[in-house]
Amino acid sequence: MSEYSVSPDGIKYKIPTREELKAELASISRIVEDQRARGREIVTVMGLGFVGAVMAAVVADAKDSPYFVLGYQRPSKRSYWKIPYINSGKPPVSAEDPEIPEIFRRTVLEKKTLLATGCEESLGLADIIVVDIQLDAAKPVFGKAETGYVELDAFKAGCRTIGKYMREDALVLVETTVPPGTCERIVLPILKEEREKRGITKQPHLAHSYERVMPGRKYVSSIRDFWRTWAGIDRESAELARRFLSRVITYPLYEAENTTASEVAKVLENSYRAVNIAFIYDWTLRAEEIGIDLWKVLPGIRVRPTHCNIMNPGLGVGGYCLTKDSVLANWAFKEIFGCSDGVPYTIEAININDKMPLHTADLVADALKECGRDINGSTIAVLGASYLADIGDTRHSPSEILIRRLREMGAEIRVHDPYVKVWPEFAQQDEDEFSLAKQFRNQEDLKNLRVEQDLDKVVKGVDAIVFAVRHSVYLQLEPKDVLRMNGGTPAVVDAFNIVDDNKIMEYLKSGCAVRGVGKGHIKRLKQLI
Amino acid sequence: MSEYSVSPDGIKYKIPTREELKAELASISRIVEDQRARGREIVTVMGLGFVGAVMAAVVADAKDSPYFVLGYQRPSKRSYWKIPYINSGKPPVSAEDPEIPEIFRRTVLEKKTLLATGCEESLGLADIIVVDIQLDAAKPVFGKAETGYVELDAFKAGCRTIGKYMREDALVLVETTVPPGTCERIVLPILKEEREKRGITKQPHLAHSYERVMPGRKYVSSIRDFWRTWAGIDRESAELARRFLSRVITYPLYEAENTTASEVAKVLENSYRAVNIAFIYDWTLRAEEIGIDLWKVLPGIRVRPTHCNIMNPGLGVGGYCLTKDSVLANWAFKEIFGCSDGVPYTIEAININDKMPLHTADLVADALKECGRDINGSTIAVLGASYLADIGDTRHSPSEILIRRLREMGAEIRVHDPYVKVWPEFAQQDEDEFSLAKQFRNQEDLKNLRVEQDLDKVVKGVDAIVFAVRHSVYLQLEPKDVLRMNGGTPAVVDAFNIVDDNKIMEYLKSGCAVRGVGKGHIKRLKQLI
């Protein structure tokens, strides 16, 4: 019986058998020979996820087209669809960046420098193999990131496949964010072992370079037009990587001492942001208690060049990097290097950030109480599901934790987000062993949570409205329109400075209870009515 | 019997009696009348310490000379000497900034817009009273900043003196870094009370604006030519403060919501730096264990505009602000506002930073061990006593903690610093109730610790050399010269990236054991010999 892989827009693709895939090798080889004859080197990008798919297109789009790119993806039920998708010129990622559809169309259909395949034997055709295999950190206990660990099996299996097929002189460039030490202590031994089985005793060329991708309107540019740190396991590998990166990346390159230093740099820089957010949380709670608006304090500090990066308060921290990279490091230091400790001050920041949305849930309960209502049995509209303003990315979104907590407190939930159609973290909650659902008392009922695009419908009749994400559309909302949609005087909670003081006054004058993260001054505004 | 106040250069000044001081009022009043006739307003700066003395000169030096400045200082044994000192045109602060002697000479002797006095009645002559009274946070237990508190008695007494004499319409501008809430909840009630005793029922004009002074070669400029946040307790006070500051400060002003917000801003911005240093410490220890050089990782991260302020590793954190401001906040939130908590994540950073020098002491012991020596009984040269590179300021210098720890471990200590002649924290250790001396087993013998200017003498024959401060002179030291001065193969410990890799190699080749904060790569360098 055939297996199928279904694309997000519902197209079913039959997954080819191992034999069918193997048979592709002959035709791919012919294409590759032709490309080599045109003077191009062959780059295989392994793993067509959030980074890999776009990296493949960026390499295929490089100035003067020095590379022909094979995008390799394991033909799994979950991901096989990406291969026929890309080969028809369509991006396998959705994004707010207009360059995304453009670059796939251009490289696949016009330049014909990008071809996707599920044939693992094709790895043997590459001069350069860029590793973009997904690698996750597991956080088995909510709010205890110190228990987090890394599951390396799939990543190791990918490396083994590379070792099995790679050309003797090919460069393996790891771009995945990995636990420090991975290249030297995990990738290198696997490659060596597999190559030795094939009689190759020469040390493989291996390097590490990490991307700094940002979802949103500059998605492609954030991979291509930004600084890069890189390192090789030896001088030759470093030079090969430098040569490749300097042809693809338009920004200056910075050479790290070795691959471990490059791996540390990535997780350290994301940890820096996480710590700075946790730091502001300390002051957010106090600002609320002592009656000042922290959002107005910070601009006066940010003028100092030494303080320009001070962070804002908010609902919490989401996304793929800031929530997990410190865990990769903490785990690696202890488990890969046998260090006496991990990075405890950094891990405490992750815990603070992970639990931060619980505070907004408390503000909702508090505001409802002021209205004489109990959160248990109230209906709450959460405006915003994604983890960043004006993008549709829900990975580790703090809105998920907010919603689970509100549900746990007995509230009925409605969600609105103009950028989000499905919310996989809820829909697929059974598949994840450490799903937050399980940690929040098995929230089976949230599995069918729908993200609505119709704001009127979501806001109508609810007891409380939470502004959870700084989407432009929410910044533009006028209180009179919100109140008209609602039809009553709901509690209003602002998690991200979305409702300015004039609007807060309007809500207060209309009799709404209002709360805001970091906004202790609302008490004073209320006295002015 | 007369009391005397002795200046740092040893001149004895007889402290005038209360009656003698009071008698000064008549002559000061005549000068003030004359100054008013020239169209000048009268500004009294109260407290001629590190900030106040220079602020007085900056105000007196303002463009178009709109102000005549009275520098008021309580005529204590410790500080009275500053008054005759200033009045002779000499600065009462030592500094590396060439503008310091210049601005005192100019304002006192040329422009004649600055006069110092110990006559408290003269406060009644001022249109504007700038409060620069010193205010300390006590940290009674080393490494437990959560037990820290604020002793407000002297500050309150100063406010009471102001209330007793101030003109009805004078503006009181608090510039001292104070616990949040101080202006509204401490200064205002005291001023009101004292004014009511005098029959004045009108609310006093009161404002807060904090400086961002940096010791070093731009000391004066850091007060005058830098952004300012300010706020008043009412609109009129805010306007008076804005008018004054805009005449004296050359940079843009930022108005905070109220004085509490302005007070929070100051301690928050210093806490930001403290937290970022503590964060790097996590990674410093791991870099040493896993064998990479953290100092080489950071420049590749700092290229990102969002990460340009990431901090460096080092010996620890010193100075007056970063070591205490978080304590002011933590204490104020709990004790002034009755908050449910302080700022625990921030306070943990203070603890990490306070204890950080203990790590360098461990590196010294470890390096000595490699040489087959025990730290107990070894002689150690600490190069650098101040808390910042190329300045002579020893306030809360991490070198003090390093030295106390090394002494506790049984080492004999020698200290060198080209900028420091006396080290009050050691000399006056008896006077401070919470002196680190007491917490490090009553280090009576360190009371006579001398800071030497002769490097040869300090380094000669010692078992270990610690590069503790990034003074230029240490950056320029060649290993061959250091080894010649020493006459043997001392252990070398670099706490601040003062010894580059080429020099490390030279020390290693000469047989020295070498360690460095954040420098795990030294192990690898050793294998290259």
pLDDT at A76 over 80: yes
* Residue B504 touches partner A, C-beta closer than 8 Å: no
Cβ within 8 Å of A, B 252-291: 252, 254, 256-258, 260-261, 264-265, 268-269, 271-273, 275-276, 278-279, 281-283, 285-287, 289-291
Residue A475 confidence class, pLDDT cut points 50, 70, 90: very high
Query: What pLDDT shows up at residue B269?
Result: 98
Cβ of A303 within 8 Å of Cβ of B227? The answer is yes
Q: Which residue of B has its CA nearest to A259?
A: B292
Paired tokens of B40: 């000048």
Q: What is the pLDDT of residues A211-222, one digit of tens each?
A: 999 989 999 999
Rounded distance between C-alpha atoms, residue A356 and residue A494, angstroms: 14
Residue of B258, B279, B342 lying closest to A346 (CB–CB): B279
Model pLDDT for residues B481-492, shown as the tens digit of each residue: 999 999 999 999
Please check the confidence at residue A2 and state whether its pLDDT lies above 80.
Answer: no
pLDDT, tens only, A389-434: 999 999 999 999 999 999 999 999 999 999 999 899 998 887 888 8
Nearest CA in chain B to A339: B289
Q: What average pLDDT score do residues B103-125 get?
A: 97
Q: Which pLDDT tens digit goes with each residue over B185-206?
A: 999 999 999 999 999 999 999 9
pLDDT of B88-106, one tens digit each?
999 999 888 999 999 999 9
At residue B268's C-alpha, the angle toward residues B267 and B269, to 5°, is: 95
Give the CB-side neighbour count of residue B145, counting CA atoms within 13 A.
Answer: 26
Instruction: Tell me the chain A residues in contact with residue B256 when contact means C-beta distances shorter than 8 Å.
Output: 296-297, 300
Q: How far is CA B413 from CA A484, B441, B461, in A?
A: 76, 16, 12
- What's the mean per-residue pLDDT of chain A? 96
Residue of A nearest to B231 (CA): A297
Among partner residues A297, A303, A329, which is closest to B268 by beta-carbon distance?
A: A297
Is the confidence at residue B453, as pLDDT, over 60?
Answer: yes
pLDDT value of position B127: 98
Indicate if the pLDDT at residue A190 is higher than 80: yes
Percent of chain B with pLDDT over 90: 93
pLDDT computed for residue A429 by the predictor: 84
Choose from B263, B297, B330, B340 for mutation: most chain A CBs within 10 A: B297
Of A260, A304, A346, Cβ closest to residue B282? A346
Position A123 scores a pLDDT of 98
Distance CA A207, CA A259 (A): 7
pLDDT at A515 over 90: yes
**pLDDT tens, residue by residue, B402-413:** 999 999 999 999
- The residue whose two tokens read 């820089």 is A269
| pLDDT grade for A37, boundaries at 50, 70 and 90 | very high
Closest to B309 (Cβ–Cβ): which among A181, A294, A309? A309
Check CB contact under 8 Å for B264 and A272: no
3-state secondary structure (DSSP) of residue A87 = helix
What is the model's pLDDT at position B429? Answer: 83
Which amino acid type is present at position A518?
G
Closest Cα in chain A, distance from residue B61 (Å): 24
Which amino acid, residue B314?
G
Q: Per residue, what are the HEC states of B236-257?
A: HHHHHHHHHHHHHCCCCEEECC
B13 part of contact set with chain A, CB < 8 Å: no
pLDDT for B25: 95
Within 196-255 of B, beta carbons closer than 8 Å to A belong to 212, 227, 229, 252, 254
Q: Which residues of B touch A181 (CB under 8 A)?
A: 290
Using pLDDT thresholds of 50, 70 and 90, give the confidence band for residue B435: confident
pLDDT band at B12 (very low <50, low <70, confident <90, very high): very high
Residue A449 has pLDDT above 80, yes or no: yes
* Angstrom distance (rounded) from CA B40 to CA B33: 10
B348 in contact with A, Cβ within 8 Å: yes
Close Cβ partners of B527 (under 8 Å, ≥ 6 residues apart): none
Q: Do B227 and A348 touch (CB under 8 A)?
A: no
pLDDT digits (tens, 9 = 90+) for A288-345: 999 999 999 999 999 999 999 999 999 999 998 999 999 999 999 999 999 999 999 9
A180 touching B (Cβ < 8 Å): yes
- Other C-beta atoms closer than 10 Å to the C-beta of A84 total 17
Instruction: Decide if A296 and B268 are in contact by the 8 Å CB cutoff.
Output: no
Mean pLDDT of B405-430: 94
CB contact under 8 A, A273 and B306: yes
Does the pLDDT of residue B335 top 70, yes or no? yes
Mean pLDDT confidence for B83-88: 97
Interface test with B, best of A183, A283, A339 (most B CBs within 10 A): A283
Chain B CB contacts of A304 below 8 Å: 212, 227, 269
B41 exposure class (CB count in 10 Å sphere: 0-12, 13-18, 19+): middle
* 3-class SS letters over B105-169: HHHHHHCCCEEEECCHHHHHHCCEEEECCCCCEECCCCCCHHHCEECCHHHHHHHHHHHHHCCCC
A333: closest CA of chain B, how far (Å): 7
Q: State the pLDDT at residue B91.
A: 96
Helices (H), A88-234: 99-104, 153-165, 182, 188-197, 219-224
Q: Give the separation between CA B110 and CA B113, rounded to whole angstroms.
A: 8
CB contact under 8 A, B343 and A286: yes
Query: pLDDT at position A433, please?
Result: 83
Q: Which residues of B touch A256 (CB under 8 A)?
A: 296-297, 300
Backbone angles phi, psi at A254, to 5 degrees: -125, 120
Determine the average pLDDT of the residues in B142-171: 97
The answer to whether the CB of A90 falls within 8 A of the CB of A114 is no
pLDDT at residue B498 is higher than 80: yes
Work out the burial of residue A433: count CB atoms within 10 Å of its CB; fewer than 13 is exposed, 13-18 middle, 19 or more buried: exposed
Average pLDDT on A432-457 reads 91
pTM: 0.96
Position B1 confidence tier, pLDDT thresholds 50, 70, 90: low
User: Do B417 and B402 form a contact (C-beta atoms < 8 A)?
Assistant: no
B529: contact with A, CB 8 A cutoff? no
pLDDT at A1 over 60: no
Percent of chain B's residues with pLDDT above 70 = 100
Among the partner residues B301, B329, B333, nearest to A268 by beta-carbon distance: B301
Instruction: Look at residue B2 in the predicted model and tell me its pLDDT.
Output: 74
